[in-house]
Amino acid sequence: MPTRKLTYLQAVNESLHQILEEVPESYLLGEDVGAYGGGFGATAGLIEKYPGRVLETPISEAAITGIATGSAIMGKRPILEIQFSDFLTVAIDQLVNEAAKIYYLSNGQEKVPMVIRTASGSGTGAGPQHSQSLENWLAHVPGLIVAMPSNPYDAKGILLAAVKNNNPVILFEPKSLYKKPSDIDIPEELYEVELGKAKLVREGSDLTVIALGRMVDIIKNMDVNPSLNIVDPVTISPLDIQGLLKEANKTNKVLILTESIARSGISAEIFTQLYEAGFKGTMKRLGGKFSPISAAKSIEENLIPTQEEIKQAIEELMHEN
């Protein structure tokens, strides 16, 4: 299978082209997904190729989430772009009370096979209403599947898995990674990356780092002494706790890294579930500070776990018994 390096955005774009080609029920909708190419360019070139299957919508996040939901009930496979994940707040009733509930409400008679792709997180100076990491909000809701691909390979493959899934799937794409080229080759063909399965990013022996989204990229590229066993949950809900536990037990020391705010967050959930699943080693977690994200680079970069903080946490874990 031919391969080459692609950026995260190129991988998503290629996946969308191939999905529209291969899945006849699929279609795209969202704000500016036509000639503009989507908020960040992920939908470039699609409206020209599939004019009837790329629907440009007004700025009406609640209504367009309902369009995805209602058409999914009728057997379509909508892929909705919500430009910034912060705007999901405007759609949250439709997502939480409608899309997530319909399978249960209908006693299994109606299914909602829809996908939302949304750009999330900090690192672009977009300020407090365009930089949040709200993935844990949705992970709290039964009926939704929430994933956060951390690299172009996963981004391309998980999109197909999401489109094929018969439930609402929300994909949080860390937008700070959009323009980064992949460090591994991406197959030209369409392939699937399984939802609900953690991935070992790099095998190591001293300390297991469980990192999500952008933090995978950061930890992967850090120069630290201990041998790191890096694992990426990929899917936040359902969490592959057995997969994470297996990796945690390899080193008996765990550091959980998230860009999203630590307080009441997914890091606490992973921490607790590992403990409940029987993990006996030592754990620490580092997440975003309890603050809006600043537009100023000098502040923004300190609001998520910094390299210094990560190094210090690793050191502390290595010296604890």
Partner 1 sequence: MNNKYELSSLLKWYSTMLEIRHFENILDDYNRAGNLYGTTHLYNGQEAVATGICLQLEDEDLILSTHRNHGHALAKGTDSYQMFAEIFGKKTGTNGGKVGSMHISDPSIGNMGGNGIVGGNFPIALGLATAFKMDHKNQVVICFSGDGATNEGTFHESLNLASIWKLPIIFVIENNQYAMSSDASKMIAGNIAGRADAYKMKSFRVDGQDIFEVDRVFEEARGIARKEPVLIEAMTYRFRGHSRSDAEKYRSKDEFLKYEDPILKLRNILITDYNVSPDQLALLDEKAYKKMEMDAKRAWVDEPAEFDLNNLEGEIYAD
> Which active-site residues does the annotation give?
130
Q: How far is the CB of 290 from partner 1 (least distance, A)?
A: 29
Least distance (Å) from partner 1 to the CB of residue 79? 14
Q: At what angle do helices 241-251 and 266-276 cross, to 10 degrees?
A: 70
For residue 210, the cross-strand partners are 231, 256
State the nearest-atom distance from the C-beta of 151 to partner 1, in Å: 26
Q: Which residues contact 307 (CB under 8 A, 6 or more apart)?
A: 218, 222
Residues near partner 1, by CB under 8 A:
27, 52, 55, 57-58, 60, 62-76, 78, 93-94, 97-98, 103-113, 142-143, 145, 166-167, 238
Is the bond into 168 cis (omega within 30 degrees of 0)?
Answer: no
Report which of 195, 65, 177 is spatially closest to residue 121, judged by C-alpha positions. 177
Asked if residue 233 lies in contact with residue 195, where contact means CB atoms within 8 angstroms, the answer is no
Rounded to 10 deg, the angle between the 152-164 and 8-22 helix axes is: 30
CB of 27 to partner 1, least distance (A): 7
- Minimum CB separation of residue 312 from partner 1 in Å reads 39
**34 neighbors 47 (Cβ within 8 angstroms):** yes
Q: Which residue stretches of the chain are H helix?
A: 8-22, 46-49, 61-73, 88-93, 102-105, 135-139, 152-164, 214-220, 241-251, 266-276, 297-303, 307-319
Minimum CB distance to partner 1 smaller for 64 or for 228: 64
